[in-house]
Structures are given as C-alpha cells and as structure tokens.
Structure 1
Amino acid sequence: MSIHAVKRAQCHLAWDNSISPALHVQSGDTVTFDCLDASNGQITSSSTVSSLHSLVFAQLDQVNGPVHVAGAAPGDTLRVDVLAAEPAEWGWTACIPGFGLLADEFPEPALKIWSLHKHTAEGSQGGEGGGPVPGEYGYAWFDEARGIRIPLRPFAGEMGVAPAEPGAHSTIPPYRTGGNIDTRHLSVGSTLYLPVGVEGALFSIGDGHAAQGDGEVCGTAIETPMKVTVRLTVLKDTPYVQTPHFSACNPHASTEEFYCTTGVGPDIREATRDAVRHMIAFLTAQHGLGRVEAYMLCSVAGDLRMHEVVDMPNYVIGLMLPKSVFTRG
C-alpha cells in the first residue's frame, strides 16, 4: 500500500472523463485530499451576509482530483474506505436565494459562521470511559444561550467517479456514479461502493461538511474546508452495484451498522423504487435470498431515507438495512 496526496489546487468544476488525472495510484492505495469548502473559498470565516450577493455560482462545488486507479475498468466497482476527515476550525451555513427545498418561502439571504470545536480526551462526553461518542468529531453551538448544540460528524458531500457519457457534467446534482450525494452517513469508518464508468475510474472528492441532516433541506450543511483520506480499491464481479452503495455506522446508535443501497434520479418515487430494487439485488447476490424473501426483508427491517433532496434535477433515496439482522455474519 502506498500513501498519496492531492493538493488543494488540483480541483475541477465538472465531472468529465476527458480531464487528465491529478494522480495515478494502484488499487488499495491511500490518498489524502486537501479540499476547500463548497464555495471554493468565496466564503471565509470573516464573511458577512453581503458575501452571498457576490457569489459566483459557476465556481461552486469544485472537487479535488481526479485520481486514476490502475486496473479499474467499466463494469467494475470502486471501493472507497473513508479513513479520516478533518474539518477546519470554522464553517458556514447559508440560505441562498433561489436554492433549497423552501426557496420560495425564504427569499432573503442569510449566513451563519460557526466555530467548530474538536473533542479532546479530557473535555468530551458521552462515549465509553468519558470519551467522545464513536463517530462524533466534536461540536458546534447553534445557539449557546439557548443550549442548542450540534454534534459534528464530518464527511465529504461529493464523492464520485467520472461518467461514461462524454462532456462536462455539473457537480451540483448527484448521479448514479456518485457526485454530490450529500449522504451524512459516509463519515469515518464507512465504505462507499461506486460503479466504474471509465478506465481508471477517475475518482474525485470535495464539499466538506462538518454536520448535516438527512436531505440538507436549506441547500447547505455546515460547509467547511476539509482534509479527507480514503483508500481506493478496485473490485471485480459486483454487478449489483449500479448506483452508490455503502456500509456505515448509524449516527444515532453507535453500535449499529447497516448496509445501504440508493436510487438516484429526477423522479422521487422511481428513485425510491430503485433503492429497493438494488437492495433486493444485493441480498440475492450476497446472502443467497430469493427475490420474494429479499423484498419481504426490506419491508420488515429496512428504513427508507431521503439523503439528498435539493440538488436538482436528481434525488438520492437510500434503503438502510441493519447488519444486526444477519446473526451468522
């Protein structure tokens, strides 16, 4: 295994399989990315709401990379193990006019700058022996006077590979090859599986989030610059990975882990149906269930979640199935 790095300046603003790789690695190598926040540095820790009026939207949601992984070919799967995610000491959340689930009801710009506090062994609470809750990086005060405190669970909102289709594809929406999936469960310790569309996969990452709720309803999380480290491994013979799949810990129950399959598309009902279809395919391939058995298991033990609902034209719907139902591994 080798360790590599992608610099902050090695970024791009579209998913495009013609972009030259910033780095070539072998399957199983580890890569650290130094990423700016989703504003591409246009918002800083000293910004005010007036900064939103001068945002250049064409510069938003840049991603770092791409990374060419030797041996990756169309039809393969790229396994992405999230090893570390280190946010800056500050972040921002904004209501941006024309953006978000209730954009028509919140037309005025608003900006909140956060101070992000990392847990220390002495000062953290809630975990075993007084340590931090597993997966919780630290905290930020939403309103300290009112006692509203947000646990931090950093992750990269953008993780994806280049699409097979030629041309430049916006980094704003999610795709079946990943992209702006904004799925908060993909924090340290999780594993993401992406369907490879081109030789070398051409993996990129960005859009650091210190915390986010499912759906990211106002269109921004706690956006922050971030250093994130992943291990990239090529997998063969995984035809059931047709959209992003992942394995992760439940942020609300630190001892629970789950499998998740997703549906990605412009029709929320069809994306939901795809999430279920993909879990059925996973269960038949990995656990030997019949399709009817798998469908029933999804109904009695699976949880449907809206992971991303604002980055149009596509939604990301996940079906999460607890690993604990499989008592024999």
Structure 2
Amino acid sequence: MPPRIPAPEGHFHLPTTAKTARWGTLPGPSAGPVLIVGDQETVTVDTVSHEGILEDQGRDPVRFFGAHGVAERDVLTDARDIAASALERDPGTDGPHVVTGPIAVTGAYPGDLLKVETLSLYRRADYGIVSSRHGRGALPDSFPGPERETAGPAATRRLPSGTVSTFCEVQVDGKGRSLGVIPYGTAGRAARFPLRPFMGIMGVTPAAEQPLSTVPPGRHGGNLDVKVLATGTALYLPVQVEGAGFYTGDPHYAQGNGEVALTALEAPLRATFRLTVLKGAAARRAVGLIDTPFGESDTHWVAIGLHEDLDEAMREAVRAALMFLTTRVGMDAASAYAYLSAAADLEVSQVVDRVQGVHCLIRKSDIGELPSEIPLQKGEFMNPAATTPACHDTAGAP
C-alpha cells in the first residue's frame, strides 16, 4: 500500500500528466508554461519515475510491478497514464526521464538567478527500481551480467535489450527509519540502506532552440544528480529565458555518489519548492560571480563541476569553488586554493550522464559570517569564461 502523504503544501499543486510533462527532452524557449507562479511562491509537484514505464520494461507498469508482487491498486495512476499516453519519445536519442514543467516565474529574465528551495519531499510509493543497461554505467563492458537467482519472489529480472532491473522494497524499521531493501542470496539475506530522497533533475529552460535530451546536465542544471540537494537545500540556476522555465523530474529515494550502475533508487516523490528570482546585488550576495549551478545546505556551500571528462569535471568544481570564495567570501586566490586542499571535500556526483559531475563541499562553519559588501578586488581569481558579472539589475546596473 502506498505511504500516506500530506496534502499539497505549496501555493500551487502541479500533477504530472501528458499535458504538464515531457518525456525524454527538456523544454525549449518556445515551450509555453504549464503553470505561472509569482516570485517566492511555492509549488507542489507530484513527480513520476521513468522506471517501470520504459519501453525496455514493457511500458506497462501494472504488469511490470505486478511481476514483483505489487498489487495493481498500488501502481500510481499517473505512471500508468504516462505509459499509455501519446507523449513523444525517441528511445534512440531522447533521455528516459519524465520531466514536469516548465513553470514560469514572473519577473525572471536572462541574467537573473533562480533560487530553487526544496521545502519537502514525500514518498509516493513503498518500492522503487535500480536499473543497469548494456553499454552504460561505470562498467559497461561488465554489467549487466548474467541474471542471478534469488529465493522467493525474484528481486532482479533480466528484461529485453540488455536491461536488468532490481526491485527494491521500502521497509520501516523499529526506530521509524525508512530503509531500502535489496535481497540477495538465500535465507532472506538482504542489503538494507537508509533513504535520503532528492530530485535528480531540477533546472531552468536552456536557451538552445533544439530540444535537449534530459540525460546530460549543463549550465541549465537539469540532470545534476547531486544527492546533497535534498530537503532543506537550495539550488541557484542562471536564468536563460524569460520566466526561467523551471522543471523537475527523476525522483530518487537514495543514491550513492557515482550512481555507478546507471540509475539510483528511482521512485516517485511529492516535491514542494519555493522559486525566488534574484537580481543584481541580491544574486551576487548569494553566490558572488558564479554563473553555473551552485548549491547550498544548512551546513555547506556546494560548488558543481560538469564535463564529459571526469578529471575536467573535478577542475570545473575547483574553479567554481574558487570563484565563490574569491568573489563572495573575499579570500585571495592563493588562500582559497590552499583552503580547498586542506578542508573541502570533492565528491563524484555521477559518472553515468554523458556529462559527468563532481561537487565540492565547503563547510559554512569554516568560513563564518559572510561580509555584507561584495568583495571584488583586482587580481582575485576569475574564471576566464565569466569575467563579467553574470547577473544584473532590471535597470541594467552592474
């Protein structure tokens, strides 16, 4: 039986339907908004996972999940409707993700920042899927491997096109903690791990005229798969089109850094966001001269590096961290570089999305209170790709 979840908490409630979603591509500049919200308003989105509805899984979630012992009544109606819809998706070129949006935010223009605060995330099901597919993942030449046998209802099934999908039940232990459970071997043995839900895809509409696949992340955000960006965090995104065009998808119940098999524990979430437009000095007070996706939690700032090459993604994360420390915190470049080496943690976000990700965690407690004035000094570190302020006031003040 699906878990009980609170009523929608946002000013607006956006279900995922064939009219509010795209499947496999991101919205472009010509895409009309499915919802318009005001600055700082909140929206609750009922997101749909792609796992269990894809073509290589039969595009029939009732049958697919039923083979794992899920009753028909416990298969979400919106997942069934999306699978049966006429939404266009080219499996050869498009991504797998169901993306809800775009949501236009009044007053957002290119050059601004959109601050996306994740206020709450609630599970919509008591099960999810981890999938591995031929030619993808960290070890594409080795996995998926031979189908393994399990005692009782099979947890792992080999599907057409070289897909192996591992069913993962959610259990609540005696301390009230939600755990993912992956059975293995015999005699009821299983790996049990804590859940930490987050949205894999959060982004703004890219300026590119041609529809982009949902798979690679970029300056627009998108499929970042940064597991730190859970409830209580914020993601800052550079606005590229009027209205920002926020969208979300790829809900996760849990993910290890790297996401090595190809997917995380994929399963549907009810997500509530606050969308705030930051202009000019307000944007610079938040992130300095950062002009790429940047995260924040109660305890850390999160600089994000993206590149097809993992080594270069690491360098991009360091560059972003240096940009923040020099243009917002006020550190000189040499001190900032030394600090990052001594105290910051760089973690691999994911290695499976064509464009790979590394995020740098900067502890707020190490830095203390930020200066009230924005410290831009001659000779400080500057990213050659962003030598002018990325954000501006509506009136055009620098």
Normalised TM-score (structure 2):
0.71
Contact 1:38 1:206 (8 Å CA) reproduced: no
In structure 1, the residue matched to 2:21 is 11
The answer to whether the aligner puts 1:154 opposite 2:166 as a matched pair is no
Change (3 A) 1:56 1:224: farther
In structure 2, the residue matched to 1:324 is 365
Q: How does 1:84-163 map to 2 (within 5 A)?
A: 84-87=120-123, 88-108=125-145, 109-117=163-171, 123-124=174-175, 138-143=178-183, 145-146=188-189, 148-163=191-206
In structure 1, the residue matched to 2:326 is 284
Which residue of 232, 235, 247 corresponds with 2:296? Answer: 247
In structure 1, the residue matched to 2:82 is none
Superposition deviation, residue 56 in structure 1 = 7.4
* Aligned-partner SS, 1:81: strand
* Aligned-partner SS, 1:116: strand
In structure 2, the residue matched to 1:21 is 33
The answer to whether the aligner puts 1:46 opposite 2:54 as a matched pair is no
Change (3 A) 1:328 1:146: same
Change (3 A) 1:172 1:328: closer
Contact 1:243 1:264 (8 Å CA) reproduced: no
Superposition deviation, residue 107 in structure 1 = 4.0
User: Partners of 1:324 and 1:36 in 2: how far apart?
Assistant: 37
Change (3 A) 1:97 1:177: same
The percentage of aligned residue pairs carrying the same residue is 36
* Aligned-partner SS, 2:232: coil
Which residue of 118, 131, 143 corresponds with 1:82? Answer: 118
The answer to whether the aligner puts 1:72 opposite 2:126 as a matched pair is no
User: Partners of 2:232 and 2:111 in 1: how far apart?
Assistant: 25
User: Partners of 2:194 and 2:117 in 1: how far apart?
Assistant: 22
Answer with 1 or 2: which has the greater Rg: 2
The answer to whether the aligner puts 1:63 opposite 2:114 as a matched pair is no
In structure 1, the residue matched to 2:155 is none
**Mean Cα deviation higher: 68-77 or 144-153:** 144-153
Which residue of 176, 194, 203 corresponds with 2:246? Answer: 203
Change (3 A) 1:40 1:68: farther
Contact 2:16 2:45 (8 Å CA) reproduced: yes
Superposition deviation, residue 328 in structure 1 = 4.2
Change (3 A) 1:47 1:179: farther
User: Partners of 1:101 and 1:59 in 2: how far apart?
Assistant: 18
User: Partners of 1:275 and 1:59 in 2: how far apart?
Assistant: 25
Contact 2:257 2:348 (8 Å CA) reproduced: yes
- What letter corresponds to residue 314 of structure 2 in structure 1? T
Normalised TM-score (structure 1):
0.85
* Aligned-partner SS, 2:313: helix
User: Partners of 2:165 and 2:322 in 1: how far apart?
Assistant: 42
Superposition deviation, residue 264 in structure 1 = 1.2
Which residue of 326, 346, 352 corresponds with 1:304? Answer: 346
Change (3 A) 1:56 1:104: farther
Superposition deviation, residue 324 in structure 1 = 1.7
**CA deviation vs aligned residue, 1:88-114 (integer Å, no higher than 9, x gap):** 211011222222111111144322112
**CA deviation vs aligned residue, 1:281-315 (integer Å, no higher than 9, x gap):** 11122222122221221111111111021111x11
- What letter corresponds to residue 8 of structure 1 in structure 2? T
Change (3 A) 1:59 1:173: closer
Unaligned runs of 5+ in 1: 49-54, 126-131, 133-137, 250-256
- What letter corresponds to residue 96 of structure 1 in structure 2? R
More strand, by proportion: 1
Contact 1:211 1:222 (8 Å CA) reproduced: yes
Q: How does 1:154-193 map to 2 (within 5 A)?
A: 154-193=197-236
Contact 2:237 2:293 (8 Å CA) reproduced: yes
Superposition deviation, residue 142 in structure 1 = 2.1
Superposition deviation, residue 185 in structure 1 = 1.0
Q: Which runs of 4+ in 1 moved over 4 A?
A: none
